Structure 1
Amino acid sequence: MPKLRFARAAEAVAGLDLSAEAKALFAPNAPTSAYLKALIDAELYADAIRLLGIALPRREAVWWGCLAARGALPAEPAPADGAALEAAEA
């Protein structure tokens, strides 16, 4: 994953509230991508999502959030919701 902002897991998890299971898998000097893979392999998806949300470059993280929001909104969202999403995408 070449686009991750942090080379080492220790940098990426600073300030994150991870589960006890995720903390047990944590190796500070491991590459962030390896820690992310370990979380996914352990089916700790909420922790993996938290990590990815922090580790992605800001632009990609916002875009990912927009994709998630589009998936959660109805086909015809309220005008304010649609406008907010369009502004975030821009």
Structure 2
Amino acid sequence: MSRKWYPVIDYTNCAECGSCIEMCSHGVYDAQKAPTPIVINENGCVEGCHGCGSLCPNGAITYVGDDTGWTPPNGVDDNTSCGCGCGGNC
């Protein structure tokens, strides 16, 4: 888990679909606020994971600490692993 890697939501682009909350098995988002994605556990995010950002239909999720060159794909799931190695559903 990381203190220097976590999702940032651009609420002007967020459709509040809840896909990010549903896919994250690390408790990063407040499930009580679904479908609005509220990050409550930044330390729960796995460094290098782009799982929620890759699912976002509007590309509204970026990450603090991301220097990988990844850009939000606007919901295009290319069926590749998020790379976090967590064994969860991301």
Q: TM-score range by the shorter chain?
A: 0.3 to 0.5
| Greater Cα radius of gyration, structure 1 or 2 | 1
Greater helix fraction, Structure 1 or Structure 2: 1
* Structure-1-length-normalised TM-score: 0.35
Q: Which has the higher relative contact order, 1 or 2, with Cα contacts under 8 A spaced 6 or more apart? A: 2
Q: Tell me which protein shows more strand as a share of its residues.
A: 2
